[in-house]
């Protein structure tokens, strides 16, 4: 009964997220009044929190999911359709990123800032959650675009052209937001949002673990550009209590009412055409390791006994080939309605363990490296419903061996993180490839139009910023690295 009630509540708030965003910007654009009873500025934090969480889920589960899974080479364009060909071609334009930018700033961050600015008494925990989601969303934004508006953003109409700030400054702010969020979540006797919190149902302890895991992720992102800062920050993090995530921080969806998984919801809008299929890059790596997760991440075609894939971007030379789709488990099978209920993982339990393992491997934190690594692999298998086969995989897969050197251990950890993130966390896998260079087996898309063996290293700034923001810093190229990508 409790689960059914929660799903019913989710149905309401997923729709509410859209209503709040539309009404907020309609009011801001067309009304010039001191107070508007329908404006979410006056909405309670309890009402705004699920709307903001749903907006973050839409961002991670749609825009970032598609680009990430293509550029991490889990997925590629189907030969029988054409929706995402420009992504495989690396021929995206600035206008392709207008919607992700809106989802970041308007749909997600604006609502989170309204919560933070609220004068509602005893709302410390909800404000703490908002600070952590603000940090999470700004990390997504800067990892995608590089330098972005920060301190002058989220000001409504007060600052029409917010200035851009360097990625290093954005990361400094991310750490600050996390610290502020954890402090607020530690306040005693604050009002809990309970079931209105779609992520952890008001569990402040889980939110603190989420914040600490996010902070560990953010410090490790600096490992190549500011290793001393990363090491010092991780040491300070480990000197405090609170733990790290042991299970997925995920948003769940329903099969009715327009509250489907965001990727599947887009698929419905495209007539349930199967645009996304298996890339040989990832499939061959799974096969080489005899990894049973392959058959959880992708679906076998009727009459076949293995996964059919094509080389990344080779849709034009495989026009007669049937190719396996991603599974409904990750929301990628267009004709399987079970895709509707696939979760969107903000941070997975497996990722949490791999982050901890990397910190230990670098000698930046204390802990049992082998155990943390093993827990990461086991967590991935358990989340896919096949926990019993993880030990055999760890014992036999070539890519599962910890070689014992610092560099070798880090490589193995990142490889296993890559395998665990297939279909669920494509953007994070692509981002980790940019940071570490692992896995080394990614290839240039056969459809690439940018030449020179180059590959995407960032999102392009949206056309909306080019045309409306007087402080726009100038155009970038898709193969130009962001600051931390050294």
Q: For 190-232, write each residue's pLDDT tens digit.
A: 999 999 999 999 999 999 999 999 999 999 999 999 999 999 9
Instruction: State yes or no: pLDDT of 46 exceeds 60.
Output: yes
Instruction: State yes or no: pLDDT of 54 exceeds 70.
Output: yes
The span from the CA of 53 to the CA of 129, in Å, is: 10
Domains in the chain with CATH codes: 2-251+342-468 (1.25.40.390)
Give the per-residue pLDDT at 14: 52
Give the per-residue pLDDT at 4: 39
The span from the CA of 366 to the CA of 359, in Å, is: 8
The span from the CA of 338 to the CA of 60, in Å, is: 19
Give the per-residue pLDDT at 8: 41
Q: What is the largest CA-CA distance in the chain?
A: 67
Taking only the tens place, the pLDDT of each residue in 313-322 is 999 999 989 9
The span from the CA of 124 to the CA of 297, in Å, is: 39
The span from the CA of 295 to the CA of 17, in Å, is: 34
Distance between start and end Cα atoms, the chain:
51
Burial label for 268, CB within 10 Å (0-12, 13-18, 19+), is middle
Helical segments of 146-200, H only: 167-185
Q: Are 339 and 264 in contact (CB under 8 A)?
A: yes
Least confident of 5-19, 59-73, 273-287: 5-19
Average pLDDT of the segment spanning 70-75: 99
Q: What is the DSSP letter of 421?
A: T
What's the mean pLDDT when you consider all of the chain?
Answer: 92
Helical segments of 277-337, H only: 280-288, 294-297
Taking only the tens place, the pLDDT of each residue in 361-419 is 999 999 999 999 999 999 999 999 999 999 999 999 999 999 999 999 999 999 999 99
Coil, helix or strand for 463? helix
Give the per-residue pLDDT at 21: 44
């Amino acid at each position: 009964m409790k689960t059914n009630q929660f799903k019913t509540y989710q149905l309401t708030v997923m729709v509410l997220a859209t209503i709040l965003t539309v009404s907020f910007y309609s009011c801001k654009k067309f009304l010039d009044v001191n107070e508007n009873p329908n404006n979410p500025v006056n909405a309670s934090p309890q009402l705004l929190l699920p709307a903001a969480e749903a907006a973050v889920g839409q961002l991670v589960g749609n825009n970032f999911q598609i680009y990430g899974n293509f550029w991490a080479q889990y997925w590629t364009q189907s030969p029988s359709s054409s929706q995402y060909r420009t992504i495989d071609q690396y021929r995206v334009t600035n206008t392709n990123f207008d919607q992700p930018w809106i989802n970041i700033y308007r749909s997600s961050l604006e609502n989170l800032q309204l919560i933070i600015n609220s004068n509602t008494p005893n709302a410390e925990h909800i404000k703490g959650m908002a600070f952590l989601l603000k940090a999470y969303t700004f990390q997504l934004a800067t990892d995608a675009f590089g330098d972005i508006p920060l301190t002058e953003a989220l000001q409504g109409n007060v600052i029409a052209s917010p200035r851009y700030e360097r990625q290093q400054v954005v990361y400094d702010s991310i750490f600050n937001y996390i610290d502020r969020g954890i402090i607020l979540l530690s306040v005693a006797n604050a009002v809990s949002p309970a079931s209105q919190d779609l992520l952890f149902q008001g569990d402040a302890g889980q939110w603190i673990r989420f914040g600490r895991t996010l902070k560990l992720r953010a410090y490790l992102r600096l490992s190549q550009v500011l290793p001393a800062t990363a090491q010092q920050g991780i040491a300070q993090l480990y000197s405090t209590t609170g733990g790290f995530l042991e299970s997925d921080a995920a948003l769940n969806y329903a099969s009715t009412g327009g509250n489907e998984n965001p990727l599947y919801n887009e698929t419905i809008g495209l007539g349930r055409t199967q645009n996304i299929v298996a890339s040989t890059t990832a499939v061959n790596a799974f096969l080489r390791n005899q990894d049973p997760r392959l058959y959880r991440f992708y679906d076998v075609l009727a009459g076949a006994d293995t996964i059919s894939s094509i080389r990344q971007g080779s849709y034009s030379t495989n026009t007669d080939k049937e190719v396996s789709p991603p599974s409904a488990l990750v929301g990628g099978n267009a004709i399987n309605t079970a895709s509707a209920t696939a979760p969107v993982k903000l941070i997975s339990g497996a990722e949490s363990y791999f982050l901890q393992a990397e910190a230990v491997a670098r000698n930046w934190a204390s802990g049992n490296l082998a155990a943390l690594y093993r827990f990461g692999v086991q967590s991935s298998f358990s989340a896919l419903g096949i926990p019993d086969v993880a030990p055999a995989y760890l014992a036999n897969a070539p890519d599962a061996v910890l070689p014992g050197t610092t560099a070798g251990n880090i490589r193995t950890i990142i490889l296993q993180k890559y395998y665990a993130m297939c279909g669920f966390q494509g953007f994070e896998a692509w981002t980790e490839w940019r940071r570490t260079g692992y896995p080394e087996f990614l290839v240039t898309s056969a459809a690439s139009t940018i030449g020179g063996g180059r590959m995407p290293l960032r999102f392009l700034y949206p056309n909306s910023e080019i045309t409306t923001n007087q402080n726009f810093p100038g155009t970038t190229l898709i193969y130009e690295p962001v600051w931390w990508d050294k």
